[in-house]
Structure 1
Amino acid sequence: MHWIKFAVSAGALALLMWWTDAPSVLARLQDADLTWILLALLSVTAATFAMASRWQIAARAFDIRIAYGLALREYYLAQLINLAVPGGVAGDVTRAVRVRQAGDLKRAAQSVMAERLLGQSALLGLMLLGFAAALVLPGGPMWGGLGWLVLSVLGGCIAAAAVTAKTNTATARFIRTTGNLLRRPALIAHGAVTTLCLIFGFYACARATGVTLPIEAWATLIPLVLTAMLIPLSIGGWGWREGAAAALFPMIGAPASAGVATGITYGLVLFVAALPAAGLLLVQGISFPLPTKGKADTS
C-alpha cells in the first residue's frame, strides 16, 4: 500500500510538471525569493509551537498532563514522520503511543485526535466564512458552483457531527468533549494563531515564486489548497497540494505553473521546518517511557 501512495505523489507531480510546463515551474523555483521563504519557514515554525501548546491544553480534557517541552518535542517528531511516511497519520499514532499514561492508550489517542480536529475545525471554519462571503459580496473570484459545493460539504459535516453528538455512543462523547474544547477562549486563540500562521506560510511561498495572492484568498483559495493535503493517498500531501493549487490559481489570474511552484515550495518549507525532529532522533532515538497518570503538568 505504501508504494501506491508514493506512486500517486510522484505520478501526480510528474503529470503536473508536464501539464503546466516544467521549464516555467523550474524557473520560478530557481528564482524564488529567499526572504519570503525565510518568512514562510518562521511562520510554519510558529504554528508548530502554537499547535504543541494546543495539544497540551486539549490533553487535559482527557486527564493527560503533558509538559510543554515534551509536547513540543513529540509534535516535531510527529510532523517529521507524517511528512516522510505515506498516509500522513503515522506520526500522530507515534505521538499517542509515546504519551500514553499507565498504559491507557485510548485517552492518549483521543487527545491527539481532538487536537487534530481542533486544528482542522479552525481552518474549515475560516473557509466556511470565506466562501459564504465570496458568494454574497461582489468582486473577487467568481467561485460559482465550486463555492456552493464547498459550503454544502462543510454544512453537511457540521450537521452530521451535530446529529452524531446527540447519541450515547463513545464517538458521540468524544465529539461533545471536542465541541466543548472548541468553545474555550484559549483554544479559539490557538486555532486563530495556527491557522493564520499556516496560511501566511503558503502566502509567503506564493510571493517567493512571484505571485501575490489577494486578501480574499486567505479565507478561500489557500484553505482549500491546504485541505487537499488531508487526502491520505499520498506522502505528506505531495501531488494533491500542487494539483489543487494548479487548478485554483488561474481563478485569481495566476498561471497553473505558479500554483505548482508554490505548492512545491510550501512542501519543502514544511519539511525543513520539521527537521529539528531529526536531531532529536539522532540524540535520543525513539523510546516510550513517558509520564504516568497523576503527574503534574510542569509547564
Structure 2
Amino acid sequence: MKAQGIKLAVSVGCLAALLWWTNPAEVLARLRGADVTWTLLSLLAVTAATFLMASRWKVTAGAFGIRFSYLFALREYYLAQLINSVLPGGVAGDVARAFRARGAADLTSAAQSVMAERLLGQIAILGLMFAGFAVALLMPGGPAWTRLGWIVLMVLAGCGVVTWVVSRRDHAMGRFMQMILRLIGRPVILLHGAITTLCLIFGFYACARATGTVIPAEAWATLIPLVLCAMMVPLSVGGWGWREGAAAALFPIIGAPSSAGIATGITYGVVIFVAALPAAAIPFAQSFSETLSTKGKPDLP
C-alpha cells in the first residue's frame, strides 16, 4: 500500500512540477481549445489498438498451448487496461489477466503468455524507434537529435544483444526468450506489431494536433516512440507524469514549446482512460447474462 502511495505521489508531483516549470495558463488554454475531431480520431486509433492487442494475445497464448476465444481475450484486455490506468505500477491489470486466463491452462503458462504479449508490443515500438533513429542520424534533415539520438541507438542495440545472449542460455529465461524470438519471426505477429504501433503513434499525433501542434512525419518514429516508452516506467499511475515530462523535454526539438508537450501528454492520457472505460460495463454484462441463463429454471428444493 505504501509503494502504491509513492507511485501516485510521483505522478502527481511530476505533473505539478511540470506545470510550475512551464506556463500553466498556456497548457490550460491548449486543453480548453482541444479540437474534438482530432481527439475522437485519437480515441478511435487507441480503441483499434486495443482490439489488435487482444488478437495478438490470443495468437501468443496459442504458442504456449492456451486456447480461448477472441471475445474472451478482448474482454480481459479491456479489464486489464482499465485496471492499469487507475492503479499504480501499470501491471496490476496484466496480473489479473493472467490469473483469469489460468482456467485455459496452468497459471505459469497464462502468466508467460501475458508477459510475452506485452514484451512483443514493446519490441515492436522499440524496433520502429531503432529504425527511426538510424535513419535520422544517417540521413540528416529532420530534428537535430545529435548526442541523444546516438545514446538511444546504442541503448537499443545493447538491449538487442542482451536479448540474443540470454536466448542462448539453457534455463527458464533463455527458453522464454527463444519463444519470443520465434514469435517475432511469425508474419501474423509482425503484422499485429506494425499496425498496433501505428495506431498508438497516430493516437498520440492526433492528440498533438488536437492541442495545436503538428508533429513532423520524421518524428513519428523517434519522438513519439520515446514519449510512449516513458509510460513504461512503473513508478507512476498509468504513465502520468513521465509521459508529460518526456513530451515537455522533447517537443522543443521539433520547434514546439514544452507546454504543448504537456498538453498533448495530458490529452493522450485522458484518451487512454476513456478508451478503457467500456471495461466498466463488463461485470454488469456478465451479471445480466447469468441472470438470463438462469431465468425460467425451476427452483430446486
TM-score (norm 1): 0.94
| Residue 270 of structure 2 is aligned to residue 241 of structure 1 | no
Aligned residue for 2:163? Answer: 161
What does 1:47-126 correspond to in 2, within 5 Å?
A: 47-101=49-103, 104-126=106-128
Aligned residue for 1:232? Answer: 234
Match of 2:41 among 39, 42, 55: 39
| Residue 223 of structure 2 is aligned to residue 221 of structure 1 | yes
Structure 1 residue 281: Cα displacement: 2.9
Match of 2:150 among 137, 148, 151: 148
Match of 2:270 among 268, 280, 284: 268
Structure 1 residue 99: Cα displacement: 0.4
Structure 1 residue 83: Cα displacement: 0.6
User: Using the alignment, how far apart are the partners of 1:263 and 1:27 within structure 2?
Assistant: 14
Higher relative CO (CA 8 A, sep ≥ 6), structure 1 or 2?
1
User: Using the alignment, how far apart are the partners of 2:59 and 2:218 within structure 1?
Assistant: 31
Contact 2:66 2:105 in 1 (8 A): no
Contact 2:41 2:206 in 1 (8 A): yes
Structure 1 residue 215: Cα displacement: 0.2
AA of the residue aligned to 2:43: L
AA of the residue aligned to 1:255: P
AA of the residue aligned to 2:80: A
AA of the residue aligned to 1:19: W
Contact 2:58 2:69 in 1 (8 A): yes
Match of 2:6 among 4, 7, 18: 4
AA of the residue aligned to 1:124: L
Identity of aligned residues (%): 66
Aligned residue for 1:138? Answer: 140
Contact 2:68 2:104 in 1 (8 A): no
Return 14-23 or 100-109, whichever deviates more. 100-109
User: Using the alignment, how far apart are the partners of 1:64 and 1:42 within structure 2?
Assistant: 30
Structure 1 residue 17: Cα displacement: 0.8
AA of the residue aligned to 1:132: A
Contact 1:246 1:260 in 2 (8 A): yes
SS in 2 for 1:223: helix
AA of the residue aligned to 1:2: Q
Return 146-155 or 30-39, whichever deviates more. 146-155
User: Using the alignment, how far apart are the partners of 1:216 and 1:232 within structure 2?
Assistant: 28
Match of 2:190 among 188, 191, 208: 188
User: Using the alignment, how far apart are the partners of 1:117 and 1:257 within structure 2?
Assistant: 31
AA of the residue aligned to 1:107: S
Aligned residue for 1:178? Answer: 180
**Largest Rg, 1 or 2:** 2
Unpaired segments ≥5 residues, structure 1: 286-299
Instruction: Compute the RMSD of aligned alpha carbons.
Output: 0.9
Contact 2:230 2:239 in 1 (8 A): yes
Unpaired segments ≥5 residues, structure 2: 288-301
SS in 1 for 2:47: helix
User: Using the alignment, how far apart are the partners of 1:138 and 1:155 within structure 2?
Assistant: 20
Contact 2:15 2:244 in 1 (8 A): yes
Contact 1:64 1:101 in 2 (8 A): no
Q: Deviations over 1:120-173 (max 9, x none)?
A: 010000000000111110211111111011011111111111111111000000
Structure 1 residue 277: Cα displacement: 0.3
Aligned residue for 2:298? Answer: none
User: Using the alignment, how far apart are the partners of 1:218 and 1:84 within structure 2?
Assistant: 27
Structure 1 residue 103: Cα displacement: 6.2
SS in 2 for 1:28: helix
